[in-house]
Every structure is written in C-alpha cells, then in structure tokens.
C-alpha cells in the first residue's frame, strides 16, 4: 500500500509530500524473468479476481517480460486466498499441457498451489516451479518447500517515508524522493524454483 510521508498543511500550491509505492510491475517482470532463466516456457499466472492496481500492474509486468521472450502465459483469475490457489492449480495441473512454472499474485495463493501439487504427486521444484509475491513475514519461509517470492519493500518504503518526513519538518528539499516514488520489489530466492524439465 502507498506510504505517504506526511500530510500537507501548508495550503494550496505547496509542494506535496512524496508517496512511496511498491513496484508491482517491475516485481512481476522479475518473477517472469526468473522462470525464463530456469528454462520454463509453459507458464501461468494465478492472479487476483479483482481489478486493483496490484492485479493490473502485476499482470502487465508478467505478460510484458514473457512477451519480450516470445512467450505467452496462461492467465487465470484465481483470487487471493490459499483455497483459491488450490482450486485453480488443481484444474491447471490436471489439464492438458500443464504449466511447469507458476507465478502467483500473493504468497497465500502460492501456498495453495504447493498443496495442489503435493496432492497430485507433482514435485516442487522438480516438476513445477512456483513464485509468490509479498514475502509475508513468517509465512513464505515456512512453506514446504520454502517459497521463492517477490518481496514488498515495506521496510524500505517506511525508511524513506520517515526520512522524507523529517526533511520536510526541517525545511529541507525533498531531493530525489518527491511526488510518487516507486520502490523496487526484490526477488527473494528460496527453494521453490528449479530448472524446467518435461512432464
């Protein structure tokens, strides 16, 4: 979610405080790139079932990175919860030409994918690679296998918002952090991505 550096109390025409937002688009491109680097060409995205900014940006980033590699992903409107991921993945994995790589809108959706793969006897990451988004505290790293994911940069956004707020209170220039500031979402490599192999 956007992190404003503070309310503007100086009236109309005053410089607005910076607002820090995660780079959902760039993070999704990073996830797609990781699957491409691992040799996956049959890939799918389990997305949210709404039209929020996060959904639109992550879908666009994933599609664009794959398009640059000449690939077209299967896009599935799944939802945001574990059971949504389970149901969508169960259908995908049981269908014709199932994906070998799946990117999920959220870590909890990815957890459902891991459960569906286990129920179908599909090994992760041996037969299926899975990437989440958020890097929720004490969640992604406790899944089996530990989830490779794109992290939301909460600490970085908070740190920069506080620095901008203090600079504002002291009357200093905002510098580079002015207006809408997009903060990189890094890849957190764990255990759920492997090299592609035929299934």
What are the extents of the domains in the chain? 3-159+161-188
Q: List, for residues 142-180, the tens digit of each pLDDT value.
A: 999 999 999 999 888 888 888 878 777 776 655 555 688
- Any bridge partners for residue 188, and if so which? 149
Cα 25 vs. chain centroid, distance in angstroms? Answer: 8
How many CB atoms neighbour CB 39 within 10 A? 13
Q: Which two tokens stand for residue 139?
A: 């969640």
Q: Which CATH architecture has domain 3-159+161-188?
A: 3-Layer(aba) Sandwich (3.40)
Q: What is the pTM of this model?
A: 0.86
Q: pLDDT of 23-34, one tens digit each?
A: 999 999 999 999
Comparing 133 with 167, the larger pLDDT belongs to 133
Q: 167 or 97: whose pLDDT is higher? A: 97
pLDDT in tens, 37-86: 999 999 999 999 999 999 999 999 999 999 999 999 999 999 999 999 99
Instruction: Name every residue whose Cβ is closer than 8 Å to that of residue 139 and which is 6 or more positions away in sequence.
Output: 107, 108, 111
């Amino acid at each position: 979610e956007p992190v404003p550096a503070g309310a503007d109390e100086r009236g109309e025409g005053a410089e607005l405080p910076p607002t820090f937002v995660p780079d959902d688009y760039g993070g999704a491109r990073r996830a797609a790139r990781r699957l491409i680097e691992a040799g996956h060409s049959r890939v799918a995205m389990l997305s949210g079932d709404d039209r929020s900014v996060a959904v639109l940006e992550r879908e666009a980033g994933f599609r664009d990175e794959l398009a640059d590699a000449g690939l077209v992903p299967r896009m599935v409107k799944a939802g945001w919860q574990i059971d949504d991921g389970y149901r969508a993945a169960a259908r995908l994995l049981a269908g014709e030409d199932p994906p070998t790589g799946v990117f999920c809108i959220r870590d909890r959706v990815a957890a459902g994918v891991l459960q569906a793969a286990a129920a179908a006897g599909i090994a992760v990451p041996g037969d299926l690679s899975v990437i989440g988004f958020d890097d929720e505290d004490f969640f992604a790293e406790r899944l089996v296998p530990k989830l490779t994911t794109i992290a939301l940069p909460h600490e970085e956004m908070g740190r920069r918002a506080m620095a901008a707020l203090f600079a504002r209170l002291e009357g200093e220039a905002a510098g580079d952090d002015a207006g809408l500031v997009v903060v990189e979402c890094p890849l957190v490599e764990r255990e759920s991505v492997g090299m592609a192999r035929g299934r």
